[in-house]
Each structure stands twice: as C-alpha cells, then as structure tokens.
Amino acid sequence: MNAQIFGWLDIIRLGLIQACLGAVVVVTTSTLNRIMVVELALPALLPGFLVAWHYTVQMVRPRMGFGADQGRRSTPWMMGGMVVLGVGGMLAALSTLWMATSLWQGMALAVLAFSLIGLGVSACGTSLLTLMAKRVPAERRAQAATTVWLMMIMGFAVTAGVVGKLIDPYTPDILWRVSAGLSILTTVLTALCLWGLEKPDAQGVSEKPSIPVNFKRTLQGIWAEPQAKTFTIFIFLSMLAYSAQDLILEPFAGAVHGMSPGQTTQLSGWHHMGVLVGMLSVAVASSRWVAGRLGSLQVWMWGGCLLSALATVGLSLSATAILAMPWPIKANVIFLGVANGAFSIAAIATMMRLAGEGGSGTEGTRMGLWGAAQAMAFAMGGLVGTGASDLAHWVLGESQSAYQAVFAFQALMFLASAWVALRIRAAHTTAQHKAPDHQVLWKDGATT
C-alpha cells in the first residue's frame, strides 16, 4: 500500500489538535491549581499530587499506541482521547468547586477527573505522534515537530489569557461555564480537524490485521532492540532534568537573586523565548535548504543536552558569594532555554524517525513507550526538583548552597543525557548486525 504523505496543511491541522489538547490541560494544571491554593486555601501539595497523578496515568501510553497499531488508524484514538480529556477537564472544574463544601468528596472526584485527563492525553497525544511518524516525510520531520509544538505553546498562551479574563472576577458559576465551554469547543474543533485527515491507503481502507499480536510480546521485542532501549533512557534522563529545573527556576531567582514575583515571571518568559529560538534553530538546520550543513539531529540532541548542563552549572555558580561581579542571570536563562529547545525538538524528530524505521505496524507502541518515559520523568521531575531543594535546604541550612546542589545535580543529569545521545548511533549499528529474535513486526497483515 502507498501511505498518504502529509503536506503542510495536514501538519497544521495536527498542530490545531495539539493546541486543543494543551488548552484543556493548561486550565487544569494552572488555573485550577491557583484556585485550590488561593481561593480555597488548600495545601499546595494537593494540586501537585493531582498533576503528578495525571502523568502517572500516562504510563498506559504503550498500550494506547498498541491499540492504534492494531486498528491501523489513529483517528478514532485521537477523537476518543479528546472526548475523554474534555470530560476530565469538566469534572476537574466541578471537583474543585465541590471541594469548597465537601472536601473529601471533591478530592475523590478530582482523582477520577485527573485520571481521565491522563487517559485522554495518552490516547490523543500518542496517536497524533504516531500519525506524524507514519505520514510526515523524513526531510520535514523537524519542521513539522516545531510547528506542532509551537501551536501547542500558542494554545497554552491564548487559553491562559482568555480564560483568565473570562473568570475575572471569579465566581464558581463562571468557572464551571468557562471550563465546560472550553471542553466542548476543543472537542468540536478536533473533530473538524480530523475530518478527512487520515485518508484510506491507495489500495483501500486499512484493515485490522487478521492474526492477533500479544501486547506484552510486542513491547518486549521493542525493548530488546538496543536503539529503542537507549533512546528510552535518553528521553527519561533529559526530561527528568528539564522538568526538575522548571519548578525551581522562579523560586531560585527570588530567593537567591532577590527578584520580585513580577521579575521572576518575566525571567520565566525569557526562558520560554529561548526555548522557541532553540526549536526554530533545529527546524532551520534540518531544512532542505541547509541540508545538514549545521549538523545532524543527533548532534543537536547531544549539543543541546551538553549546553543545558553548562547553563545549569552557570546557575549554580550564580548562587556563590565569591563572584566579583553580578551574574548575568537573564542571559544565563535565555541560554538555558535555547539549549532546552534545541535538544527537545531534535529528540521529537528523532522519535518520529525511529518509530518509522522500527517496522511497519509498531509505530504506535514505540511512541507510547517513549511517551511513557517522558510522563514518568515529568511525574518525578517536580518531586525531584522541589524535594531535593527542600532536603538540601534542611541539610545545609541556607538557600544558596541548597540551590547550588540541586542545579549541580541537574547538570549531571544533562551530561548523562548527552552521553546517552552519543550511544544512540552505536546502538543503531549493533541493531543492524543482530536484530532481536523475538521482534514482532507487521507485514502484510501478518506477524513475523
């Protein structure tokens, strides 16, 4: 069969779906977070646990991807995932309101809501990446990944701004109506974007394979591949370092450099701007006009992690009292953002390439495995960053040394990620010489 090749209009439609996904998630992880802590005066640990829980639920991503592989179509999983996500978003808002009068019942509903959010993100997000891996040509993957992720970031920003205006002044009724309206709007927009997107193959509609394949055997076969295992480790280490730094950057700037809340928010904005520059740099470097003259995706992954380690060392040094001049914290944070954006987009493009090269019919399971590694890293990242900071502060007795220790630890994780990135090519060479005996692949509707 001749697979449909996606053009830029198709990629933009996928980007709109990713933006819809991000729009629902950002309200549940930021707006509801603030309402629980400020308006309801609940411990910050509660929303922290709920966010970590929705990442933990995403460990089902490999099974979701396997389901999409068996059905040979991603559209039903994307649409179904967005519906589940929308329901979860509405229940999350309802549970937050319920906590004001019945705390325990509201918390129980919140756990259910965030479970649905995790399931919806897993089904829709994994299938979207799987479809990109199958249908986006190799020379366009970095640009496609950048486009989709930039649209997701735009979805974050636009939703946060619009929802912030709509719920001000805050009342429970307004929160419920805005949340329900957002869920309905994103579900309808996703349905419109998916309409006719995944066209039948040249020889007709893809059918479900006639011979069933065991999920456990498929996953074991993928994990036995040196390259797949090495890349999974890279995703986990790099995302763990990235997410751990995300939650302590603003507190660090306030406690050590004496910045006001407004200044730390601006600093975070400069970091996101740097991430954008890093993403665009990789997209340009991998374009057909440049044709690899600025380095391969593996070089950008390795270099991005290495420079991220250097930037976190700089943040650690900025907490020392022996410096003879003020540290350029703004430039340091922008540099960190550029490095973060470079390795992350290079990793996503590499993920799509490896999923496509691994064998027809297992793209979804591979994407699910790597998505689960990222979800596990993000679930642990917040706990590692904030927990290590609190522990170091308790042991060392003051903020500067505590943040120094945490940033030094993150630098080590980024260095480990850079080393693993170099091993991906070596693992690929090993895999070419000896493929796993029990690897499971689709081939003309059968298994081998």
Q: Where is mean pLDDT largest: 178-182, 315-319, 398-402? A: 178-182
pLDDT of residue 204 exceeding 70, the answer is no
pLDDT of residue 81: 94
Residue 126: is its pLDDT beyond 80?
A: yes
Q: What is the pLDDT of residue 306?
A: 95
> What integer pLDDT is reported at residue 443 of this predicted model?
32
Tokens of 16: 């709109």
The mean per-residue pLDDT over the stretch 58-63 comes to 91
pLDDT at 396 over 70: no
Average pLDDT over residues 158-183: 85
- pLDDT for residue 324 is more than 70: no
Contact 68, 364 (CB under 8 A): yes
Q: 3-class SS at 204?
A: strand
pLDDT at 289: 61
In the chain, where are the structural domains located? 8-196, 214-443
Q: What is the pLDDT of residue 444?
A: 31
Confidence at 34, pLDDT banded by 50, 70, 90: confident
Q: Is 141 or 360 the better-scoring residue by pLDDT?
A: 141
Query: What's the average model confidence in pLDDT over 294-309?
Result: 87
Do 214-443 and 8-196 have the same topology in CATH? Answer: yes
Residue 118 pLDDT: 94
Asked whether residue 39 carries a pLDDT value surpassing 90, the answer given is no
Cα–Cα dist 268/380, whole Å: 21
* pLDDT at 19 exceeding the cut of 50: yes
**pTM for the structure as a whole:** 0.79
Structure tokens at 17: 């779906």
214: Cα separation from own chain's centroid: 27
pLDDT, greater one: 75 or 432? 75
Which segment of 284-288, 318-322, 400-404, 407-411 scores lowest on mean pLDDT? 318-322
Residue type, 344: S
pLDDT above 60: residue 253: yes
Of residues 374, 366, 351, the one with CA closest to residue 238: 374
pLDDT at 2: 52
Compare 354 and 264 and report the one with higher pLDDT: 354
pLDDT of residue 112: 96
> What's the pLDDT at 265?
65
Give the chain's mean pLDDT: 81
Smallest Cα–Cα separation from 16: which of 67, 82, 61, 89? 82
> pLDDT band at residue 388, thresholds of 50, 70 and 90?
low
Cα gap 108→102, rounded to integer Å: 10
Can you name the residues that pair with 67 across neighbouring β-strands? none
C-alpha–C-alpha distance, residues 392 and 27, integer Å? 32
Percent of the chain surpassing pLDDT 70: 82
Q: What residues does 201 pair with on adjacent strands?
A: 204
| Predicted pLDDT at 428 | 52
CA distance 395 to 404: 13
| 176-201 average pLDDT score | 89
**Beta bridge partners of residue 446, listed in sequence order:** 443
Q: How confident is the model at residue 69 (pLDDT cuts 50, 70, 90)?
A: confident
Higher pLDDT, 173 or 319: 173
Would you tell me which CATH number, out of the four given (2.40.50.140, 3.40.50.2000, 1.20.1250.20, 2.60.40.420), belongs to the domain 214-443? Answer: 1.20.1250.20
- Residue 442: pLDDT over 60: no
Whether the pLDDT of residue 261 is over 70: the answer is: no
**Which pLDDT band holds residue 85 (cuts at 50, 70, 90)?**
very high
State mean pLDDT over 95-104: 91
pLDDT of residue 189: 95
pLDDT score at 390 = 66
Say which residue, 225 or 187, is predicted with more confidence. 187
Check whether 248 has a pLDDT greater than 60: yes
pLDDT above 90 as % of the chain: 30
Choose between 271 and 391: higher pLDDT: 271
pLDDT at 267 (0 to 100): 80
Q: What is the mean pLDDT of residues 328-354?
A: 89
Among 176-185, 239-248, 352-361, whose mean pLDDT is lowest? 352-361
Q: For the beta carbon of residue 357, count every other beta carbon within 10 angstroms.
A: 14
Q: How confident is the model at residue 74 (pLDDT cuts 50, 70, 90)?
A: confident
**Which superfamily is assigned to 8-196 in CATH?**
MFS general substrate transporter like domains (1.20.1250.20)
